[in-house]
A and B are shown apart, each in its own frame.
Chain A
């Protein structure tokens, strides 16, 4: 099945999908401003999903978060949710939202990882490794070895580890939170026009995230 063939699926109908970046009070939520454009580019390039040409920024404590099936959260600095942010995140996840978190430090001992996983655990319970056979890795493109690696991992940035698995929180067989230490925030932080220079286009994994959020 080709991308075009799959692009004719019912995903092409319905409301326009807008990529949402989460704005939280602490930390540098806007540290990866080009991720949205790259994911949007990939979604448009490979699917018929009606996608907005630019992303939006949604305060985590805002009801506006509930309009978005997928929310992206990243940063380098410590993540400390306010009570309102914690409450809204719980509502969002309970209503079927999917939060994709990426550690911009790609460092399991870094301030973002330690604080963000603690905060997420307070909302969803402890995060657990997502098996590399999970439906997430087959929701559009097939990633046989689980999450695609990033050049930042392979080049030894951060904790000098290649993280084999993503972490996540599931409810009733559906992922609610996907947490990455792989630093897609850096990897997907190029201008979309430069995609043609990539040897491995791992932004395709972003398509899987979007399709998973919209269909599961």
Chain B
């Protein structure tokens, strides 16, 4: 049986229980008006289409975000504002375009009818006709349309369209969320890695997708007994002792990892480090030498770096506490206590007191050596060593000389044990015929020591007298004051004698002056100096010295002799004031100069060691008489100029200029150049390295690096360059 056009078919009647559009726009097969049902279907499909358009718009917006992120992470294109604006505009166009298109192509009832007609051919275009028919035609067609069960296909179409749109929307939202949610953190981490900025571990943990995860640690040399230290290849600078190993391990990505190392000053550039592979896992070891080293790790996604500043193991410091000064003794059976201390930043492996006994004279000298109180093994940072030197057991004889020092070695297994020594003490056993010279050598400590003790005693006596002054009769005060004054006068004369002897210009004196002796004095001063030195001259010198300076020990370029004599001159002058006050029975007025005298003598005792061997004979050569009297022929080679030393500063300045130009054009490359420059400057130009550190830090945070780069430029240049137009000297006058 064939149904006639616009007549209800039996099949249509049979399926009359199909869904109907609801009053809110859903399909209900019990609705009486097909036109209303069709409108509801159109609205439903329109909403599905709107959802689809939103999904498409989101996909368009996602595209530039992905391009931006990939270009930033993989290619290192900086995410500057301009680029971000382009991305936003592109995304906005991508959103607006489909929405506008959707607005223009609204789903009409005819569109909905056509979709239903495609699914239900038995309608024979009656529904399409009904959609835009006049009321009269609608009344004619409605019975036919009602007879066909089109509600079920319509509902199926609506559900399918809605499901499809919702799926697209969900996918778009999910993609956008996935791209946008962790992207900011990852891109920040990636950009920071590129810039060499410190990156928190949490950011490292969220490396860009595909980046190879690594662990790195610094392993100090075994002899340091220091623990391993984990580090991040975050572009920063870490300090490590020379001989440390940087161990980098990865569980995967061995095929993509390229590890390069560059030492400071290495003109050959970075060298590749071979990875130890085990399937996908890998391991690499970089040894830190004496120079700072930069480690660069690239894995196709990121490039990470770390600069390791090598710190050398310091040489042990040693000092000898006993004997505190050189010793001169005639007792060949004496025992001399030795005591010293040593310190090392890591540990002392060997500490011992070393002695050398030299015997003989003229052209025949023999020497014996030995050690005392040796301590070996893995010792502490601070070690004390002591021993006793038994001169009798050593069999010393008059004329022998003993040199004693503390020698300490560390356990440096990288460079070999490093030696640190104390100052050497000389123990002399004078010959019997060396009376004069020995007396000179022994003389300075004794009188000064005696003087200070005596001066202290006199000071105490004076203070007691002042304290008792009110309870004593005037005559008793005068007598006691003059008695102390007399002792003060005797002590002053003793100190004067010491000064007179030590500053005399006699051949045996310590500080003789003569023409051409290298001392800084004029001819008139020389003539004055060569006048015989008298006690009156000593007093004048004392007055001059104390008049010029209240304290006289602050003369960095003085010879040791002057360093000792100046305080003694000051003491001499103070004693003079004290004597006058005491002789005048004014003990209270004497206390202040007596205290100055004690302090001055203390300074003299603490002065540098003396050279008391006397001046060598001054042999004057008569230059004018012998000038060019030699007859031998000189046949000197023509001199060839020594090659100029490379100007490291100029080279660094040139590199800095290039890096700055590069920084403006290709920031990533410029930053890399600055980082390598910092590596080379770490040891040679620490000021430059610090300025570059600041600049890199500013660049990493996006701050203004101008000031830091200007400092770097000045530090690299060092020497200002004078232009041709600049006069050498200018007073500023027109």
Contacts and interface: CB of A to CB of B under 8 A. Distances in A.
Contacts of A112: 365
Contacts of B635: 1, 138, 141-142
Contact of A48 (B358, B423, B628, B632): B628
A26 B426 contact: yes
A14 interface: no
A129 B615 CA distance: 34
Contacts of B630: 3, 42, 45-46
Interface residues of A, number: 72
Contacts of B627: 44-45, 48
B338 to A, nearest CB: 15
A56 B634 contact: no
Interface stretch (A72-80, A87-95, A160-168): A72-80
Interface string A42-73: 10111110011110111100111001000000
B639 A77 contact: no
A54 B514 contact: yes
A140 B609 contact: no
A77 B403 CA distance: 9
Contact of A53 (B401, B613, B620, B636): B620
A41 B626 contact: yes
A20 to B, nearest CB: 7
Contacts of A83: 423
A142 B636 contact: yes
B518 interface: yes
A56 to B, nearest CB: 3
Interface residues of B, number: 49
Given A77-B365, A111-B356, A44 B616 contact: no
B619 A56 contact: no
Interface in A106-126: 107, 110-112, 115, 122
B517 interface: yes
A46 to B, nearest CB: 4
A172 B645 contact: yes
B626 A172 contact: no
A21 B615 CA distance: 11
B124 to A, nearest CB: 106
Interface of B: 356, 358, 363, 365, 367, 401, 403, 405, 419, 421, 423-424, 426, 514-518, 557, 559-560, 609, 611, 613, 615-623, 626-637, 639, 642-643, 645
CB-CB nearest 7 A-B residue pairs: A56-B518, A80-B424, A111-B367, A37-B619, A45-B630, A33-B616, A46-B630
11 contacts: A1-B636, A3-B631, A26-B426, A45-B628, A46-B628, A46-B630, A76-B358, A110-B367, A139-B636, A141-B634, A142-B635
Given A4-B628, A36-B619, 18 more contacts: A3-B628, A3-B633, A7-B628, A18-B518, A20-B518, A30-B616, A40-B623, A41-B621, A45-B630, A46-B630, A54-B618, A59-B611, A77-B358, A78-B358, A80-B405, A80-B423, A138-B636, A141-B635
